Each structure stands twice: as structure tokens, then as C-alpha cells.
Amino acid sequence: MASDTIYALSSGRPPAGIAVIRISGPDAFALTARFLKGGRLPTPRAASLRTLHNPADGDVLDQAVVLLFPGPGSVTGEDLAEWHCHGGQAVIRAVLGALEEQGRGGGLAVREAVAGEFTRRGFENGRMDLNEAEGLADLLAAETESQRRAAMMMADGHFSRRLEGWRSRLLACSAQVESLLDFSDEDDVPDSGMERALADALAALREDMAAQLAAPSAERLRDGIHLVLAGPPNAGKSTLLNALAGREAAIVSDIAGTTRDRIEVPVNLGGVAFVLTDTAGLADRSEDRIELIGIDRARQAIEAADILLWLGEANVCPRADAIRVAAQKDRTGWRMPAGVDIAVSALTGENIYALVQMILDRAKSFLPTEGSYALHERQRKAVAAMVEALTAAQVNSDLLIVAEYLRLAREEMDRLIGRSGVEDMLDSLFSRFCIGK
């Protein structure tokens, strides 16, 4: 439990309608009392409109709604006060200045919080596990609807509850192995029914965990699904990219080879983050060295694409899973080519919406479905390591070795939840938060 009391502006950049100043720690309530006439504190968890006075000189600072959340039931697990002040620059400066003064000479251990410190205290006091803290960081950073949904599933403890379920099953299996080992110490024949039940329980747990490994990646949701536009020069790739991005992102010209290198544009299509890549045209007979490098990069981008839009002849499409697009359908004399999935005109906008729907449909495989979670690399590695340990435990007949693998799985679980072995990553996680969170 921290011995000092921290404060910070927890709401957004002023000026704003309201400024929320949070104070957390053992002296949060004593400090609040100093700012109130007569030192009378409001009832916990009830909003109370009060006048804040500067304890140093009695000056009126502001009228504020004061809320008290006694620990350990608060988000930080400590006594927590919130002052909802007027959101003007000068008001905030005056109130924070008075708090700072109390820290300097007021006899209380009070200081301004560092980034993420309120959340970190919540984590350290057991108010949330590591996955919930990570989810909260993602939620605050979320820019698209799909990022918000995935982060909510983490932040509100959905995934953590599933982990708790797995953890208790793992502990039950371990306990069973230990008791079998006790039996064998006594030279007793282990009950084979019990062993079968154990094997079944291990198999079921391993299967549940392995199913989660098919979950989409949180990094992909955050960084965007890679949508690559490729095809020969002048197919209309840059123009289509601009139409999808809704802005002039790529240079459009009718001189073949204008897009010499890859252009990457982040866009939000239907609430999902994408990174659109416009590639150099795949001309076969270019003499220009720089253009050739561009073509080489285009080939790499085509291979690495999550979704490929192919704007060339359908029979030379480089990937079987590409969406084959016939572009420029408004041109006079245009005829529908064979083997395409959709024909569009970036110029008139015809079928662009239908193309976006087609892209979103393909994107579904990168999004979490009902009951699955978007996992970060860290979480995926931990689940994979548990699956590996359980697989090894399953195929071993020596109970001592089984016990050892189960111990490894438990260690991995503790790291995943944040109970141990994660000190090195906490600083980097909590520095992702802003001051006041």
C-alpha cells in the first residue's frame, strides 16, 4: 500500500465544462477536509456541492462537486476523492497550485501523480488484473469501434474471468496429481478412475485454451488490417485508394509509374482500422531502376497483404484470395471483364460502397467474434506456453513429470494474470496512460 497521496487533473485538456481533480492515498480525505469550510466531509459516494478554500490563506478557489470513495472499494483500492471543478485554465491552475502548496509545507505526503499512477495503484491493490489494465490502456487509445469493443472485453474483466476459470481448473488438476503422488508414496495402487478423470480434465482444459489461440490479434486491430491495392500501371489504383480514404492521399496521374513506392494510408472503414497500401504498378518491362525497386516492394506488399485488391486482369491475379476489381467502369466503351468480383468507378463513386462492404466481410476473420478476445502478443504467448505444458503433461505417464509441467503452466498463468514475473513490463504498460489516469 502506497504511503503518499497523489493528485492530478484527470479530465481532458482545459478549457472544458468540468475539470475532475482526483486525489488518492491515505491522506486523500484529510486533504479534502482542509479545503472545506469547517473541515466537514461529505457522505461517502454522494455528490455534494461545496466551496473550496485555499487552506493557506482561506481564499475561495471554486465551487465544486466533491465525491469521496473510501478504500479499499475504490478504483485505486485507496481512499479516493474527486473534485469536479469548473474547467477553466485559471481555476485548475489555482486548485492544483493550492494542492502543490499543501504537499510542500502542509505536513502531508502529497505530490502530483505520474502517468498511469492511479491505475497502477488499482492494479497493485488487486482492483484489476494485468489484462484489465492493458484493456483499459487500449480503451483509452481506441479510435475505431472495433478497437473499442475489443478493449472493452478486456477492460471489463471478461477475459480475466475466463482466465480465473482456467486457473481454478488447473489448480484442481494439480491437486489431483499431488494426491495421486501421495498414494504412490504409500505404495498403494492409484485409483485408475481418478487418473482417467484427470486425463479428461487436462484434455478439456488444453482444448479450451488452444481454441483461444485462433483469436485475432489485438495488435492488428490497433495498427490496422493491411489492405493492399495492386495491378498494372494506370489501372486506377491511386484513384481508388483516394476514393476509399475519402481524401487525396495518393498522387494520381496518367504517366505510368507515378506511384513508385508504397504509400500507406490509415483509414477507418465501417468502424474497423485499415492501412491502405498503394503499390507501384507491376509493369514487366521497366528500365527505370527506382521503378524496379518499387515493383519489388509491391510484390512483397502483395504477399504480406491481409486483404488484396487486384485491379489487373483476373487471370494473372497473384493471389487466389484477392478481391478482383474492375476499375474505371464509367469509361466509354468499358466492358465487364471475365472473372472479376466487382466493377467500380472511383470517379463517379459507383459501387465503392459495395466494395467497402466486400472488404468488411473479408475483414471479419481479423475481428473477435462472440466469446473470443483480441489477444496481445504477450497474452497469446502465455496461452501458447500453457497449451504446450498441458500437451506435455497429457502424454506423460510419470506423475512427477506431469506435476512439473502443471507447475510450469501455473507459473505461466500467474504471469498472464500479472501475479508474478511481470515487474519489468509494468513500467512500460503504465507509462502508456496519461497523468490523471
Q: By rule CB under 6 A, what string of x and - marks binding of each residue 129-168 to ligand GDP?
A: ----------------------------------------
β partners of residue 52: 36, 62
Min separation Cβ 66 and ligand GDP, Å = 60
Min separation Cβ 313 and ligand GDP, Å = 13
Provide the 8-state DSSP code for 174: H
Give the dihedral of Cα atoms 208, 209, 213, 214; nearest 10 deg.
0
133 belongs to an annotated ligand binding site:
no
What are the E-state strand segments in 212-360? 225-230, 263-269, 272-278, 307-310, 323-326, 342-343
Min separation Cβ 395 and ligand GDP, Å = 54
Binding of ligand GDP at residue 281 (CB under 6 A)?
yes
Give the dihedral of Cα atoms 417, 423, 425, 429; nearest 10 deg.
80
Give dist(CA 33, CA 40) in Å, integer.
Answer: 6
Min separation Cβ 218 and ligand GDP, Å = 32
Exposure of 276 in the CB half-sphere (CA atoms within 13 A) = 25
By CB under 6 A, the count of residues binding ligand GDP is 20
Give dist(CA 194, CA 138) in Å, integer.
Answer: 44
Binding of ligand GDP at residue 239 (CB under 6 A)?
yes
Binding of ligand GDP at residue 355 (CB under 6 A)?
no
| Residue 175 burial (C-beta neighbours within 10 Å; 0-12, 13-18, 19+) | exposed
Binding of ligand GDP at residue 258 (CB under 6 A)?
yes
Amino acid at 351: N
Q: By rule CB under 6 A, what string of x and - marks binding of each residue 317-336 to ligand GDP?
A: ----------xx-xx-----
Is the CB of residue 104 less than 8 Å from the CB of residue 68? no
| Residue 207 burial (C-beta neighbours within 10 Å; 0-12, 13-18, 19+) | exposed
* Choices 247-255, 396-404, 419-427, 428-436 (CB under 6 A): range interacting with ligand GDP: 247-255
* Choices 45-53, 148-156, 236-244, 359-367 (CB under 6 A): range interacting with ligand GDP: 236-244
Min separation Cβ 273 and ligand GDP, Å = 23
Binding of ligand GDP at residue 51 (CB under 6 A)?
no
Min separation Cβ 240 and ligand GDP, Å = 7
Min separation Cβ 295 and ligand GDP, Å = 12
25 belongs to an annotated ligand binding site:
no
Nearer to ligand GDP, 185 or 254 (CB): 254
DSSP three-state, residue 171: helix
126 belongs to an annotated ligand binding site:
no
Give dist(CA 353, CA 339) in Å, integer.
Answer: 20
Q: Which residues of 392-412 are buried (b: 16+ CB within 10 A; e: fewer)?
A: bbeeeeebeebbbbbebbbbb
Residue 263 has φ and ψ, to the nearest 5°, of -115, 130
β partners of residue 151: none
From the list 74, 102, 234, 277, which residue makes contact with ligand GDP (rule: CB under 6 A)? 234
Binding of ligand GDP at residue 392 (CB under 6 A)?
no
DSSP three-state, residue 48: strand
Q: By rule CB under 6 A, what string of x and - marks binding of each residue 211-230 to ligand GDP?
A: --------------------
Tell me which residues touch ligand GDP (CB under 6 A): 233-239, 252-254, 258-259, 281, 327-328, 330-331, 345-347
Q: Binding-site residues for Mg(2+), please?
A: 238, 259
Q: Binding-site residues, please?
A: 22, 82, 127, 234-239, 253-259, 278-281, 437
